[in-house]
Amino acid sequence: MTNEQSIRQDGPSAALPVDLKHENRKKVLSAFRYGEECTVADISNQTGISRLTVMRAIQFFVSRGILRSVGLGESSNMGGKKPERFAFADDRLTMCIAMWPLSTRLSLRTITGQPVAEMDFASDLRRPLRDVFADMETNINRFLRQQEIGESKLYGVMLSTAGTVDTDSGILRFSVHSPEWGDEIPIRDYLQKIVGERPVVLVENAGKTAGRAVLHQDEHCRTGRVLTIFSAWGLSSCMIEDGRILSGPLSLVGEIGHMSIDSRDEELCGCGRHGCLERLVSRRRLIRMLEKEPAPADSPLYNIGEKLSFPLLFEAAQNGDRRARELTDHLARYYGDALHNVAVVYNPDQVIFQGLVGHACAYFDQQLKARMKNFRYFPGGEAFQIRYDKTDLLSLNATGGWYMLNEHYFHDPLLYQDV
Ligand SMILES: [Zn+2]
């Protein structure tokens, strides 16, 4: 009696054999998800599924052109027959588009994540929506022509941009970087028109796209509660619970840049409010603070003006420069208060800074923790693990965007069904 027959006899509450078959196929294919080469025995050992069932599933995917044989591997120490190795064979590509306020990057990767090509071009999200997408169309077509990629070669396209995005409906709800566009903009439809009907098209907020990169980079981020903080031209976060991205009915979850930290602050935020975290910790704010109270002549921040950057500030603070430390204290104070507020509503296990604050120095970390320490609910004074990732944000974004498309591919139920 086969496994499937025995389950059928367990009665109506047991999994249907056809579901079990699909579930097994899914587990088998997931072994190839990131470009691995595997033998039947490898997968059987990993999944606990019998070799016969693994072999049948592999034959199913080979017959559909999703897996292919890549020849014989090494035999085991005991000698004997060399096992056949298999690899993912669907050679279509994914494209991640970072449509950010001042520039756009197109990143092509295979479905399993190997980088293929990239292109950057200038963009300005303050221009009218139609102009931005007309430019986008020209550049995408040029890029795909250069790479000799037709519509059928593209499995999916993912667009990451500023503002609140509803991934399910494909709508950009609102962005402070392009308020003239209005709200409820069907950006997925705009993109689908450019790339044609065939490719899968997904859209997401930039912070949530870059944040997803941790799901690929670090298996410890796939369980528990993780908060990534995206700091660049804007400030937002991605809240991940057991690998799932939280969003909410207005896609507002994670918009920590608009957390009210000091409502008496004079600067008006693009969102319509005062005292938003994004405004308090902006580079512009630090430049203004330096204009008001300049650094002395022996400071690396002396007369720095527009050349001020976060890596430079953190380096100077770490080296003990007084004015750099004051500005770093300012950042640590506001980030500390924001993380305190995050802790009491989200209670994360881990917080990971990406982008500008990913370059923070030990001095910032120490001041940040000191700011949060007096809250007596935190055991031992520490609420969560804090990490800093210096990886370029556009690379994280390309990884996160590809990951969304990879997940979409491997979770598609049609992939596992008999034709
Ligand atoms: Zn705001």
Pick the CATH number of 217-391 from 3.20.20.80, 2.40.50.140, 3.40.50.2030, 3.30.420.40: 3.30.420.40
Q: What does the pLDDT look like over 209-251, one tens digit per residue?
A: 999 999 999 999 999 999 999 999 999 999 999 999 999 999 9
Rounded to an integer, what distance in angstroms lies between the CA atom of residue 31 and that of residue 80? 24
Which residues neighbour 284 within 8 Å (Cβ) at sequence distance 6 or greater?
Answer: none
Q: 169 is written with which tokens?
A: 């409906």
Give the distance (Å) from ligand 1 centre to CA of residue 307: 25
CATH topology classification for 93-211+397-414: Nucleotidyltransferase; domain 5 (3.30.420)
The pLDDT of residue 330 is: 98
Same fold, 3-89 and 217-391: no
Rounded to an integer, what distance in angstroms lies between the CA atom of residue 341 and that of residue 261? 9
Give the distance (Å) from ligand 1 centre to CA of residue 30: 41
The pLDDT of residue 278 is: 96
Give the distance (Å) from ligand 1 centre to CA of residue 289: 20
Each domain of the chain, given as residue ranges in start order, spans 3-89, 93-211+397-414, 217-391
Give the distance (Å) from ligand 1 centre to CA of residue 390: 26
Q: What is the CATH number of domain 3-89?
A: 1.10.10.10
Give the distance (Å) from ligand 1 centre to CA of residue 83: 59
Give the distance (Å) from ligand 1 centre to CA of residue 295: 29
Give the distance (Å) from ligand 1 centre to CA of residue 39: 53
Q: What is the pTM of this model?
A: 0.91
Give the distance (Å) from ligand 1 centre to CA of residue 105: 26
The pLDDT of residue 18 is: 83
The pLDDT of residue 244 is: 96
Give the distance (Å) from ligand 1 centre to CA of residue 275: 7
The pLDDT of residue 10 is: 43
Give the distance (Å) from ligand 1 centre to CA of residue 235: 10
Give the distance (Å) from ligand 1 centre to CA of residue 339: 17
Q: Do residues 96 and 191 make contact, with C-beta atoms less than 8 angstroms apart?
A: no
Q: Where do the H-state alpha helices sit in 373-416? A: 393-410
Residues of the chain with pLDDT under 50: 1-14
